[in-house]
């Protein structure tokens, strides 16, 4: 029997760090949006992260794929995993709170289960997964409020845009499994961001014009954080935790990100979420735990196995 992945104290510390970094990315993107247009915000994110990751690839001496098929897959992956979700979520943050954006972002796991069940024979929708997905989407309805669908104002459209972004993330996950298996993670991430940059650089120049070089210090710091730390660095940290703890334990990061984003939004931008947002997240978190078999008993057992 193959040894099971466990969440050691070291792995948990890195998982917590990853959650804090990704939770902080929502605030940093919102700060940048005060001075930089949406498309340019996304272009900054993918281009700087791409450069950092290619530097890592070269430093490690990893082989760079040459097959046109792989580079075509990178282009599609960049569109699904970066261009569409980054753009939709950045636009959404202009109209809804950073904390609510992070809560809705957690639905990526729900859509991921549904897309994988539709595409792969070995990821069928079991009763447990169906229950988790149902509870999760119930939490989403509570978080955004049923009234959001009664009229398409900017706030309701922003929430739907964020949810569409999470669906794109889910599609990207299945695409990566089908077309990008076997590549070293830094190479796959750098190639994906290259595909994103090929799309976003001309789009930013066409839609927003040449980017301003006279950025306010807080804007420049925000861009540096979400591009270099929360994109390039987080991709590398993500794969470290995945290797140490496995995909099941890694899913816990989904439960860390929203509280971090909510607290930072409240402290820095005086954001206040409706009570329904917190209730919706609680139900969504319960659905995610059931979805991945992370019951309280299961978590206790895992901790006991680590000690």
pLDDT in tens, 253-298: 888 999 999 999 999 999 999 899 999 999 999 998 888 775 444 4
Closest CA to 102 of 152, 145, 159, 157: 159
pLDDT of residue 294: 58
pLDDT in tens, 114-147: 999 999 988 888 999 999 999 999 999 999 876 6
pLDDT of residue 247: 74
Share of the chain above pLDDT 70, in %: 92
| Distance from C-alpha of 113 to C-alpha of 133, rounded to nearest angstrom | 8
Distance of CA 2 to CAs 5, 250, Å? Answer: 9, 19
Distance of CA 181 to CAs 59, 171, 173, 178, 184, Å? Answer: 22, 15, 11, 7, 9
pLDDT of residue 244: 85
| Distance from C-alpha of 233 to C-alpha of 252, rounded to nearest angstrom | 19
The mean pLDDT of 83-95, rounded to a whole number, is: 97
Is 50 exceeded by the pLDDT of residue 307?
no
pTM of the entire structure? 0.91
Half-sphere exposure of 209 (CA within 13 A, CB side): 3
């Amino acid at each position: 029997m193959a040894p099971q992945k466990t969440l050691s104290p070291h792995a948990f510390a890195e998982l917590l760090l990853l959650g804090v970094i990704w939770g902080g990315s929502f605030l940093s993107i919102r700060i940048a949006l005060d001075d930089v247009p949406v498309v340019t915000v996304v272009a900054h994110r993918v281009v700087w992260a791409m450069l950092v990751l290619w530097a890592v690839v070269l430093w490690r001496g990893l082989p760079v794929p040459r097959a046109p098929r792989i580079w075509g897959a990178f282009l599609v992956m960049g569109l699904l995993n970066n261009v569409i979700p980054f753009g939709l979520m950045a636009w959404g943050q202009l109209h809804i709170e950073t904390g609510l954006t992070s809560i809705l972002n957690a639905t990526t796991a729900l859509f991921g289960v549904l897309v994988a069940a539709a595409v792969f024979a070995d990821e069928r929708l079991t009763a447990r997964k169906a229950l988790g997905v149902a509870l999760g989407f119930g939490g989403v309805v509570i978080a955004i409020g049923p009234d959001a669908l009664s009229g398409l104002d900017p706030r309701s459209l922003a929430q739907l845009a964020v949810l569409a972004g999470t669906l794109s993330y889910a599609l990207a996950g299945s695409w990566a499994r089908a077309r990008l298996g076997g590549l070293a993670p830094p190479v796959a991430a750098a190639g994906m961001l290259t595909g994103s940059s090929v799309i976003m650089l001309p789009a930013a120049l066409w839609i927003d014009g040449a980017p301003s070089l006279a950025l306010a210090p807080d804007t420049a710091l925000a861009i540096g954080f979400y591009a270099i730390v929360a994109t390039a660095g987080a991709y590398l940290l993500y794969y470290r935790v995945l290797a140490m703890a496995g995909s099941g334990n890694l899913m816990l990061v989904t439960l860390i990100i929203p509280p971090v984003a909510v607290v930072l939004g409240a402290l820095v931008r005086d954001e206040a979420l409706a009570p329904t947002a917190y209730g919706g997240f609680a139900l969504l978190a319960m659905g995610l735990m059931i979805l991945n078999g992370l019951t309280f008993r299961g978590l206790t057992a895992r901790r006991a196995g680590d000690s």
